[in-house]
Chains A and B, each alone.
Chain A
Amino acid sequence: MHAQAPVTFTVGWSGSTLDTLNPAAFTDADGASKIIVNIIYDPLVRVNINGSTTPDLAMSWTYKNSTTIDMNLVHNATWHDGQQFTANDVAFTINLLLKHPEISYEHEFVQTIASVRALDNYTVEIQTSKPDATLLDYELVNIPILPQHIWANVANYTSYTGNPVGTGPFKVIKWGGPGTYVQLAANDNYFYGRPHIDQLVFQYFSSSNAMALALESGQIDYAGPTFPNALLSSLSSLGDVQLISRLGPEYYYFCFNGYAQGFGNPALRNKEVRIALSHAIDSQELSQVVWGGFAKPQNTIIPIALGDWVNPNVTQYDFNLTTAANMLDAAGYKVGSDGVRVGPNGTRLALKIEVPSDYAEEYRAAQEIAGWWKQIGVAATPQITDTDTMGGESVNWKFDTYIWVWSTPAGGDPDLFLSVFQSSQAAPAPNPGFSDSGYQNPVYDQLYNQQIQQTNSTLRHAIVYQMQAILHQDEPYYPIYDPYLVQAIRSDMFTGVPAGLLPPIFIGTFYSLLASVRPTVAPAQASQTTTATAAMGTAISTEGLAAIAVVVVVVLAAVGVVVTRRKSSKKGQ
């Protein structure tokens, strides 16, 4: 069937580098390594491209009570080396993670698990210490199941460099080393059926420009995780390249430092002031100005990409400078002689708006906001701050306001976004939590604890909606927008990008893409036309020509100037 050259799907990646293929060595979740490991090793369950939980090594599961779940495993899974997969592998993996906190990244996902045991060859019982609503969507999707017959003999887990042996749809042929590429072959015996492509190449690019060129010239077939806005217009004008824009599982927010023991402007501890300031921010306008429309304004603190977890009844405070000014008047902040409002206890409404250097383009948003605020008597100074410095300011509560981003590494679960508003997360240095707003509300805390233990999805949704409504009333953040991640495929070569909410290359969703992507033309022909020269885009070649012409002109002009100056100075002598 595949006597011709194999069908190779080449994916370019310009995000974080491909560091390691050892799942025990991760320190970072959004890395390319995690994406690749996730198709070599199977977890028990996966999150699909719509953000919902689907079977993988576990084909079904039943809760025996609120803390005990039985996972019924597939019977026909085999490891890449031919050994049979059984429930013992699952129990081994989870016990390994329980016992070894040095496997720091995966160890996080067994925090609520009290015990695990194999009931028979294809049933595993997992007990949690308390009811855990995110066990499937967050914990189990992130645990790659390891082969006991190999890992039982590994001496040092975090530095293990053996060839990965998993149960997943692809097995490793060759890894080029950190920051290069990995070449994988379809697993012929994959228990959910062999992928339509024969080989997968995942290649790292340190420059998005180079990646765009590689896509145009046919050196790669797919590109992610996203392109900068500047490249989108030239990419979208190419006939053979199809752009896939979906909202990322993240959102940008404007944070008010309202922590009572913090060092921010004390006016921000008053929720009337925060709401007034929010009335003077227009996320609709910002999404156009900063993102050229490639971002969708948020209403709540759950990214729009998370679908039905977003409370549809919460809407953003309307943009109205008069309302904002009236609210500040009512709160006792009167415009002083220099045009800046001063509060009852002498607090001037002069604020710094910081932007982390990693997201320097948001400086434009900070400038816009400062402009609106100026009109209502609030003096704001936009400033770009080194990301790590800002991290330090954040945990020490030494800032007024900033723009930053929350994103979830895996899954479509809202827990991470909700967790940062717990009172327990707002604490003084040196033991701060993840709160940056300093929000503290016992009612919210209670609801948080209820939702994390509510394994009934409908009931949990109701609580999560209520929490969003509370946060909207207290406005610790102004949620700004959820940008689109724009990925691209050579549609003349490959087709079958699955429809869904989330971008196709993401930790869980890459699996969905690989399961459905297939050559646009028959394999025999495809292999003959895969050569780099086959189809050349035209949009960039004119640009390229122009750029080269510019260089030639610049060089010639410079040479000309020097020559003539030499001549004239000689004449002068």
Chain B
Amino acid sequence: MVNLAYFARKIVGLVVTVFLVLSFNFYLFRILPGNPFTLLFRGSGLSSQAIHDLNAQFGLDKPIWYQYFVYLRNTAVGNLGISYQTRTPVASLISFALINTLILLSVASVISIVAGILIGIIAAWKRGSKVDVSASATMLVLYSMPTFWLGILLLFAGVIYLHLPVSGMTTIIVQTGALPQLIDLLRHMVLPCLTLVLGLTGQYVLVMKSALLDVFTEDYMITARAKGISNRKLLWDHGFRNAVLPMMTLVSMNLGLSIGGAIQTETVFSWPGMGLLIYHAILARDYPVLQGAFLVVTIVVIVANFVADMLFPLLDPRVTSH
């Protein structure tokens, strides 16, 4: 049963956090040296008058507090502004990129969570065995491997030996029909997905294993074992259900962070998602896109945590009393 005071406390925390992040984002990008238009004359030869006009058009000649006020007001009504770079509404750029990232991420997350839990359980159950040690060591190595490097190696292998597509989400000249298009998308997803899965699974395995090992030393486990419960029942009903709590926290944090954190994977595979959007916006000092993207990432992180907070009392009645 979710306690109302608990719920209200979390909601207030959520709103304050979003506001603080909003303000911080605004400030952060403006202490960067330069502005989006200072360097336009290099390469495009815009005159100083044209650059001045562009600054005025996007309100960058106004005092900073005024820009902040306009920004808050627009964000409040859901207007994220217009991209300096592409002149398209930021909201549409973000929704396009967010969907692409979610497609990639949801598959990668499900695979890595399931794999992480299973490998973690096996490693914990067969603690100290060769299976455990080699699984844990492999996971540790994969987890600490630079994503960019791993991605490029998979790219080599995938393209040359498996003839998988190199970049993007779709083969441009593709057979029509839903099924061929789906297969095409899946073929494009294999490599970026594998890169993400290899990186993410390691964490899940290690957390799952250590959580289970903690649970195994609890008194109730000894009691259960003494009652003569089968190993399978002991592991799933008593062990797993208790060990899944730290896992929940990690999953909820990871889901939020990887929305914007798949930058390296998306760059290697030219996947047109949030990571690539942020990367290009930073290069172009495209403030509205950066602010919008960071806002979305923040909200996803906060909401994911909030959902986790709401689920905790359901999973573990002890949480409500805190």
Contacts from A to B (Cβ < 8 Å): 8, 10, 12, 17, 19-20, 22, 25, 27-30, 101-102, 104-105, 107-108, 111, 158-159, 161, 174, 176-181, 183, 199, 201, 203-207, 209-211, 213-214, 216-217, 219, 386-389, 391-392, 395, 404-409, 416, 431-434, 532-533, 536, 540-541, 543-544, 547-548, 551, 554-555, 558-559, 562-563, 566, 570
Contact = CB atoms under 8 A, between A and B. Distances in A.
B155 A563 contact: no
Interface of B: 32-34, 37-48, 50, 53-54, 57, 82, 84-89, 93, 96, 128, 130, 133-134, 136-138, 140-142, 152-153, 155-157, 159-161, 163, 165-170, 172-173, 266-270, 272, 276-277, 279-280, 284-285
Given A19-B86, A30-B43, 17 more contacts: A19-B85, A29-B45, A104-B50, A104-B54, A104-B57, A159-B88, A176-B172, A179-B280, A180-B168, A204-B168, A206-B167, A386-B33, A388-B285, A392-B38, A533-B163, A559-B134, A566-B128
A540 to B, nearest CB: 7
Contacts, number: 203
A22 to B, nearest CB: 8
Nearest to B267: A206
A409 B43 contact: yes
15 contacts: A27-B44, A27-B85, A28-B284, A30-B43, A159-B87, A174-B172, A205-B166, A209-B268, A210-B155, A214-B159, A406-B42, A409-B45, A532-B163, A555-B142, A558-B141
Closest 3 CB pairs of A and B: A388-B34, A29-B44, A544-B156
Contact of A388 (B38, B93, B167): B38
Contact of B138 (A22, A391, A540, A559): A559
A258 B91 CA distance: 46
Given A176-B172, A180-B169, A536-B160, A161 B48 contact: no
B166 A210 contact: yes
Contacts of A433: 48
A548 B172 contact: no
B133 A563 contact: yes
Q: Which of B47, B93, B141, B279 has the most CB of A within 10 A?
A: B141
A559 B153 CA distance: 19
Contacts of B86: 19-20, 25, 178
B166 A213 contact: yes
A406 B45 CA distance: 10
Contact of A204 (B96, B165, B270): B270
A10 B172 contact: yes
A25 B172 contact: no
Given A28-B43, A391-B39, A213 B88 contact: no
Contact of A28 (B44, B128, B136, B152): B44
A46 B272 CA distance: 33
Contacts of B152: 207, 209
A203 B163 CA distance: 18
Given A104-B53, A159-B87, A408 B45 contact: yes
Contact of B168 (A181, A388, A432, A554): A181
A184 B306 CA distance: 46
Nearest to A387: B39
A180 B169 CA distance: 9
A431 B47 CA distance: 12
A179 B172 CA distance: 14
Given A209-B155, A214-B166, A201 B172 contact: yes
A407 B45 CA distance: 9
Given A28-B85, A532-B163, A180 B272 contact: yes
A391 B38 contact: yes
Contacts of A406: 42
A177 B95 CA distance: 12
Given A388-B32, A406-B42, A541 B160 contact: yes
A57 B154 CA distance: 48
A408 B46 CA distance: 11
Q: Which of B54, B89, B128, B167 has the most CB atoms of chain A within a 10 A radius of its CB?
A: B167
B86 to A, nearest CB: 4
Contacts of A206: 167, 266-268, 270, 276, 279
Nearest to B36: A27
A369 to B, nearest CB: 22
Given A178-B93, A179-B276, A392-B38, A214 B133 contact: no
Given A205-B167, A391-B38, A392-B33, A30 B155 contact: no
A568 to B, nearest CB: 12
Determine which residue in A107, A174, A213, A405 has the highest number of CB atoms from chain B within 10 A of its CB, and name it.
A213
Given A219-B165, A544-B156, A559-B138, A210 B268 contact: yes
A8 B174 CA distance: 12
A28 to B, nearest CB: 6
A296 B221 CA distance: 76
A199 B45 contact: no
Given A183-B172, A533-B163, A210 B85 contact: no
A556 B170 CA distance: 35
Given A19-B85, A29-B45, A207-B268, A547 B173 contact: no
A183 B173 contact: yes
Given A209-B152, A558-B137, A389 B173 contact: no
With a 10 A CB-CB cut-off, give which of B87, B138, B168 has the most chain A CB atoms: B87
A108 B269 contact: no
A201 B84 CA distance: 26
A532 B41 CA distance: 41
A181 B53 CA distance: 31
Contacts of A407: 42-43
Contacts of B46: 104-105, 108
A416 B42 CA distance: 10
A101 B49 CA distance: 11
B133 A101 contact: no
B87 A158 contact: yes
A559 B41 CA distance: 54
Contacts of A544: 156-157, 160-161
B96 A177 contact: yes
A29 B42 CA distance: 10
B172 to A, nearest CB: 5
A548 B280 CA distance: 30
